[in-house]
Amino acid sequence: MNHSRVAVAGFVAWVAFCLVGFLAHAVVMKDLYLAHGAIMRPEADADARLPLSFAVALVGFLAFAYAYAKGYEGGKGIQEGLRFGVLVGVMLIAFVVIWDYMTYPLSRTFLFALVVDDIIEFAIYGAIVGAIYKPRASRIMKA
């Protein structure tokens, strides 16, 4: 495994997460969040938690890139990354989003937006990791 490439891939995907996540949640889905404001933290309270959230997300993206590298099958990086990202997105929907829908009074529209967002975002992050990660030359020779 090429650990330096794993770290770079995870970091670049995290940077993309910061940018894409802002566009998706603060711009595209802004009205949905505002419509659910009664069940959300006040903006100042949420903003105070951003540093911790971004730090934990970085750890998550390093784990995401590591998991990709462990399962890398030698295919075309971007395509393999897309498949991996969609799979992770589906897992997040099954393990988090649907349970948030059950727990909190989210509208079906918001649920649908979150489902679509997770699939698209994690496909993007997977493609990024797939484009960057390359196994060490010794792994290629063994395959």
Q: Chunked in runs of 10, what are the mean pLDDT values of the chain (143 residues)?
A: 94 98 96 94 93 98 97 88 97 97 96 98 98 75 51
Question: Residue 106 is part of which domain span?
Answer: 3-142
User: What's the total number of domains in the chain?
Assistant: 1
pTM of the model: 0.89
How much of the chain is helix, strand and coil, in % rounded to 5? 85, 0, 15
Give the Cβ contact number of residue 25 at 10 Å: 16
Burial annotation 106-117 (CB, 10 A radius, 16+ → b, else e): beeebbebbbeb
Q: Which residue has the tokens 């948030």?
A: 100
DSSP 1: -
